[in-house]
């Protein structure tokens, strides 16, 4: 098998991709105009008809779609096909408000599976690999998304789903799992449990991880690679747009290639809505140009990232998106300073001795925002002398202050006391919202 799942698309020239995107976009806009009342209304309000949207250059004229639109049309009001054609439903794992429901036709499932298959191939997966899926199966798109992609590729799927870490490890040992699919935080937790039970990475056949569904840093990547003895590939996606596989890492791990024959990416200024030039950081916006059941036009993801069209050494020409550094809406504003949890994680991990188990607690005391970072000590550090721990605490506090421009209280807690997650990690408790 080649290094690509679909070479003609993954290595298309800029003009080929422009034509594919323009054709699909103009068809899609006509479809949603005819089939989704909300889109017809929005386009009429903007003075647009489908004839106005001929190429990708016209995309910026179209109005945005927001998560709230999906909530307002809950559950199926934005579907563009009859229910007879819908073969699968998923829902977003949203923690606030109503869930958003998404639907797929058989063609949608095939398109999405191909996106995931491309990601798996880019991570070196072959037909003889055992793809161990520890993402949750169910309404969350992680489990079934990776599952169908691996099957399309012809690899052997081990559909473990999340949870019961001892059993996950037993299955690694007994079934010869070679590709691990789970969230990065769960990968680290698995590494912890392996360590506790004296199971070495060398005794397993794992070679790669397909890790995503939450923001993670380059430091965390290094830790996972080292502790599990694998190469850790990022995979990005969101239920509203499809699920995992919207973007994926190649062997050079220098930004995720976006499956742009299906999803057009734009980076915009979240305040003005203006499209930003390549390289600039802003909010990620996607337009689904091939999806049948729930095609979203200019969907505001709230994720913060940038894109580049510089050639990639892997030969793929698909545009690359930098690792999302957080979300516009989980960005904390503390005493006026914008703080992404990922900045704090980078500082913690740059100390070398600290593991990425932490909790950021924000509070307001006497009208003043306060930030506390609870950091878990490793067994080794925990048994160290008090003096050593105090020194580390001071170093950490000063590094956090110089990075964020804010003082934070650092509290060390005992090993294994910060709750682990089998899915997306919860890193922030913002008590200000509760008051
Ligand atoms: O998390 C889909 C997925 C499953 C992606 C498995 C990768 C692997 P949702 O539950 O709808 O879908 O959450 C989507 O998660 O808008 C991002 O904020 C975040 N996210 C997903 N992948 C990444 C990633 C799935 N690789 C939301 N890096 C998105 C950073 C990510 N954030």
Mean pLDDT to the nearest integer, 101-106? 97
Q: Which helix (H) or strand (E) holds 42?
A: helix 37-45
Residues 388, 385: Cα–Cα separation, whole Å: 5
H-type alpha helices, 126-180: 141-153, 165-175
DSSP label of 276: P
Tens of pLDDT, residue by residue over 407-426, are 999 999 998 899 988 888 88
Atom of ligand 1 nearest to the CA of 243: 2
Tens of pLDDT, residue by residue over 141-151, are 999 999 999 99
Binding site membership of 325 for ligand 1 (Cβ less than 6 Å): no
Mean pLDDT to the nearest integer, 288-305? 97
Binding site membership of 423 for ligand 1 (Cβ less than 6 Å): no
Please name which of 376, 371, 312 lies closest in space to residue 349, comparing C-alpha atoms: 376
Residues 15, 415: Cα–Cα separation, whole Å: 54
Binding site membership of 217 for ligand 1 (Cβ less than 6 Å): no
Binding site membership of 142 for ligand 1 (Cβ less than 6 Å): yes
Binding site membership of 135 for ligand 1 (Cβ less than 6 Å): yes
Determine which of 8-12, 89-93, 103-107, 289-293 has the lowest per-residue pLDDT on average: 89-93
DSSP strand E in 289-404: where? 299-305, 307-308, 320-321, 332-334, 337-339, 358-365, 368-376
Binding site membership of 245 for ligand 1 (Cβ less than 6 Å): no
Atom of ligand 1 nearest to the CA of 323: 28
Task: Tell me which residue has its CA closest to atom 27 in ligand 1.
Answer: 238
Tokens linked to 387:
């003096």
Q: Please state at what angle helix 184-196 crosses helix 218-228, rounded to 10 degrees.
A: 40
Binding site membership of 143 for ligand 1 (Cβ less than 6 Å): no
Q: How many CB atoms lie within 10 A of CB 59?
A: 20
Task: Tell me which residue has its CA closest to atom 1 in ligand 1.
Answer: 213
Distance 246 CA to ligand 1 centre (A): 10
pLDDT-based confidence at residue 93 (cuts at 50, 70, 90): low
Q: How many CB atoms lie within 10 A of CB 217?
A: 22
Q: Select from 123, 182, 218, 238 the residue to mutate for testing ligand 1; criterion: most ligand atoms less than 8 Å from CB.
A: 238
Mean pLDDT to the nearest integer, 246-267? 98
Residues 78, 133: Cα–Cα separation, whole Å: 31
Binding site membership of 93 for ligand 1 (Cβ less than 6 Å): yes
pTM (2 decimals)? 0.90
| Residue 97 reports pLDDT greater than 60 | no
Name the strands in the sheet holding 263-268, side by side, starting at the edge strand that comes first in the sequence: 263-268, 282-288, 299-305
Binding site membership of 328 for ligand 1 (Cβ less than 6 Å): no
Tens of pLDDT, residue by residue over 353-368, are 888 899 999 998 877 7
Q: What domains does the chain contain, in order, with CATH numbers?
A: 1-329 (3.40.50.12780), 332-434 (3.30.300.30)
Average pLDDT of the chain to the nearest whole number: 93
Q: Which helix (H) or strand (E) holds 366?
A: none
Binding site membership of 181 for ligand 1 (Cβ less than 6 Å): no
Atom of ligand 1 nearest to the CA of 424: 1
Instruction: Give CA separation, 267 vs 78, 115, 239, 287, in Å.
Output: 24, 21, 19, 12
Residues 307, 267: Cα–Cα separation, whole Å: 7
Give pLDDT, residue 214: 87
């Amino acid at each position: 098998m080649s290094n690509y799942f679909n070479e003609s698309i993954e290595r298309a020239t800029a003009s080929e991709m422009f034509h594919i995107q323009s054709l699909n976009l103009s068809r899609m806009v006509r479809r949603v105009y005819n089939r989704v009342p909300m889109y017809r209304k929005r386009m009429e309000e903007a003075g647009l008809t489908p004839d106005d949207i001929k190429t990708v250059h016209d995309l910026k004229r179209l109005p945005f779609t927001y998560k709230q639109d999906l909530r307002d049309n809950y559950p199926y009001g934005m579907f563009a096909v009859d229910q007879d054609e819908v073969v699968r439903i998923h829902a977003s794992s949203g923690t606030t408000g109503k869930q958003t429901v998404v639907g797929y036709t058989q063609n949608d499932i095939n398109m999405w599976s191909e996106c995931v298959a491309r990601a798996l191939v880019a991570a070196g997966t072959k037909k003889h690999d055992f793809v161990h899926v520890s993402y949750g199966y169910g309404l969350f798109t992680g489990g079934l998304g990776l599952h169908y992609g691996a099957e399309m590729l012809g690899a052997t799927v081990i559909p473990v789903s999340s949870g019961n870490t001892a059993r996950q490890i037993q299955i690694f040992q007994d079934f010869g799992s070679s590709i691990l699919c789970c969230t990065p935080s769960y990968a680290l937790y698995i590494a912890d449990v392996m360590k506790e039970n004296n199971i070495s990475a060398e005794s397993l056949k794992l070679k790669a991880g397909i890790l995503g569904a939450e923001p993670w840093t380059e430091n965390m990547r290094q830790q996972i690679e080292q502790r599990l003895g694998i190469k850790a590939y990022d995979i990005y996606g969101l239920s509203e747009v499809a699920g995992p596989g919207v973007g994926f890492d190649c062997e050079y791990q220098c930004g995720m290639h976006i499956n742009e024959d299906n999803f057009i990416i734009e980076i915009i200024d979240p305040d003005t809505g203006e499209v930003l030039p390549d390289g600039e950081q802003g909010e990620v916006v996607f337009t689904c140009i091939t999806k049948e059941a729930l095609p979203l036009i200019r969907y505001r993801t709230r994720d913060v990232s940038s894109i580049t069209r510089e050639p990639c050494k892997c030969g793929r020409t698909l545009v690359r998106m930098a690792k999302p550094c957080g979300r516009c809406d989980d960005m904390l504003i503390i005493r006026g300073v914008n703080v992404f949890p990922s900045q704090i994680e980078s500082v913690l991990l740059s100390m070398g001795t600290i593991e990425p188990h932490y909790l950021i607690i924000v509070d307001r005391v006497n009208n003043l925002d306060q930030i506390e970072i609870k950091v878990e000590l490793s067994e080794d550090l925990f048994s160290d002398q008090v003096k050593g721990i105090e020194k580390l605490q001071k170093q950490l506090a000063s590094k956090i202050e110089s990075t964020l421009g804010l003082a934070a209280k650092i509290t060390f807690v005992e090993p294994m006391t910060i709750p682990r997650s089998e899915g997306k990690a919860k890193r922030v408790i913002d008590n200000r919202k509760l008051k």
